């Protein structure tokens, strides 16, 4: 597919850039920012049609929007899980009633979502989930179990939960995909997880008899694995290109520090910086190729392997160009601010998780081996 931008695409890009410069404020409340995006129709550009209060954009226009969003340093999104994961899943597997109920609030930035997949002992091995959902006397479900590494659960209004609805079922069988409201005091408990960076983007979520309505099962009872796998196919796409714009800005910052500190004179460090630049360009062309091609079973796994390892190497170079100064915080310790990091220190520490979350490197390599290269599946029960 030719990914050249047409005149219409460039006009769309210019409109997006002007709007973002006028409205994007890094200090704005994230929920308020979602409502601002929704009011202007910028949520749901990839959705089919415009019947939910959203604009519709071609693939190249979606790329232009994502790039301009990253380029202007707009606030981090809180609504991307609903917009880019749940919404496409509802279009693929949901009922008309589910679409009518949930898509307009997502498009308006009025309802935020989180993803209830991973559990202790069932992270990369998603089929091992133990959370259960039992029918109650009123025809709904009572959900009980624990989810972990749940991004933005502390902000979310709803959670899509993979749970067992068939007693005694194992592995991929007997799972259902339920839409569960988070505002259930005493039945839904969200506990932030403090990370190496001192921040808490991830959470543990405990469900203790949380209520879910039977009409909020997506794809039908017992079809949860099919729906969950359909959703995972939407995880990586246009957003990868926006991510790379952010990576390029981080690389520029690291290069700037290398020049300031004199580290750029070291031929070994200079070689590492050049390699990072070249690899980032290669990742962009690979992302454009896979967006235009389609049908590549291993494309998302290859992309995850590429960017996760690249970002970790960038974090390591970010520390190396600082020398001994990388071990010193930007501010003196105080009881109220005991853990302050500068941007490059944050980059180094946060990137340590890149090869784990979103599917570990080992899992991505297994997917490529089995689904792309056709190698034999790993025998079960082998330690």
Asked whether the predicted pLDDT for residue 2 surpasses 60, the reply is no
Burial of 121 (0-12, 13-18, 19+ CB in 10 A): exposed
- 75: DSSP letter: P
Please identify which of the residues 235, 250, 252, 316 carries the catalytic annotation: 235
β-bridge partners, 204: 191
CB 159 within 8 A of CB 205: yes
* Residue closest to 116 by CA, chosen among 88, 146, 141, 136: 146
80-130 pLDDT per residue, tens:
889 988 999 999 899 999 999 999 999 999 999 999 888 887 766 677 888
> Comparing 136-145, 286-295, 319-328, which segment has the lowest mean pLDDT?
286-295
User: What number is the average pLDDT over the span 24-33?
Assistant: 87
Cβ-Cβ contacts under 8 Å for 32 (sequence gap 6 or more): none
Instruction: Report d(CA 56, CA 52) in Å as an integer.
Output: 10
β-bridge partners, 119: 122
Burial of 331 (0-12, 13-18, 19+ CB in 10 A): exposed
Q: What is the mean pLDDT of the chain?
A: 86
Asked whether the predicted pLDDT for residue 234 surpasses 70, the reply is no
* Residue closest to 197 by CA, chosen among 353, 29, 13, 366: 353
Provide φ and ψ at 378, rounded to 5°. Answer: -65, 130
Asked whether the predicted pLDDT for residue 1 surpasses 60, the reply is no
**So what's the pLDDT on residue 239?**
64
Q: Which contacts qualify for 95-98: CB closer than 8 Å, 24 or more apart?
A: 95/215, 97/215, 98/179, 98/215, 98/216, 98/218
Q: Which contacts qualify for 118-122: CB closer than 8 Å, 24 or more apart?
A: 118/147, 118/148, 118/149, 118/150, 119/145, 119/146, 119/147, 119/148, 120/146, 120/148
368-382 pLDDT per residue, tens:
888 888 888 877 654
Catalytic annotation on 215? no
What's the predicted TM-score (pTM) here? Answer: 0.81
**So what's the pLDDT on residue 296?**
64
Instruction: Report d(CA 55, CA 350) in Å as an integer.
Output: 34
């Amino acid at each position: 597919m030719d990914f050249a931008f047409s005149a219409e695409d460039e006009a769309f890009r210019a409109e997006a850039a002007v709007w973002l410069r006028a409205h994007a404020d890094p200090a704005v409340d994230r929920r308020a920012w979602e409502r601002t995006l929704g009011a202007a129709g910028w949520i749901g550009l990839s959705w089919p049609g415009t019947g939910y209060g959203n604009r519709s954009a071609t693939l190249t226009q979606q790329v232009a929007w994502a790039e301009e969003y990253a380029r202007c340093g707009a606030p981090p999104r809180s609504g991307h899980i609903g917009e880019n994961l749940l919404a496409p899943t509802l279009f693929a597997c949901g009922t008309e009633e589910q679409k009518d109920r949930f898509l307009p609030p997502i498009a308006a930035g009025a309802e935020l979502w989180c993803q209830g997949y991973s559990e202790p002992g069932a992270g990369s091995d998603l089929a091992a989930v133990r959370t259960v959902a039992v029918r109650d006397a009123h025809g709904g479900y009572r959900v009980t179990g624990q989810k972990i590494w749940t991004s933005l659960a502390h902000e979310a209004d709803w959670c899509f939960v993979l749970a067992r609805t068939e007693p005694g079922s194992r592995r991929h069988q007997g799972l259902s995909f339920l839409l569960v409201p988070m505002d259930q005091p005493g039945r839904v408990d969200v506990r932030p997880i403090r990370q190496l960076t001192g921040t808490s983007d991830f959470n543990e979520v405990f469900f203790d008899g949380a209520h879910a309505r039977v009409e909020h099962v997506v794809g039908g009872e017992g079809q949860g694995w099919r729906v969950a796998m359909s959703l995972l196919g939407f995880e990586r796409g246009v957003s990868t290109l926006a991510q790379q714009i952010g990576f390029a800005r981080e690389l520029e910052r690291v290069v700037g520090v290398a020049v300031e500190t004199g580290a750029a004179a070291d031929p070994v460090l200079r070689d590492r910086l050049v390699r990072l630049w070249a690899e980032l360009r290669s990742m962009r062309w690979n992302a454009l190729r896979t967006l235009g091609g389609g049908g590549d079973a291993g494309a998302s796994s290859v992309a995850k392997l590429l960017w996760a390892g690249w970002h970790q190497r960038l974090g390591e170079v970010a520390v190396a160009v600082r020398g001994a100064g990388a071990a010193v915080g930007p501010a003196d310790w105080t009881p109220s601010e005991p853990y302050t990091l500068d941007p490059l220190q944050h980059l180094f520490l946060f990137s340590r998780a890149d090869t784990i979350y979103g599917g570990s490197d080992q899992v991505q390599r297994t997917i490529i081996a089995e689904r792309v290269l056709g190698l034999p599946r790993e025998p079960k029960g082998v330690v």
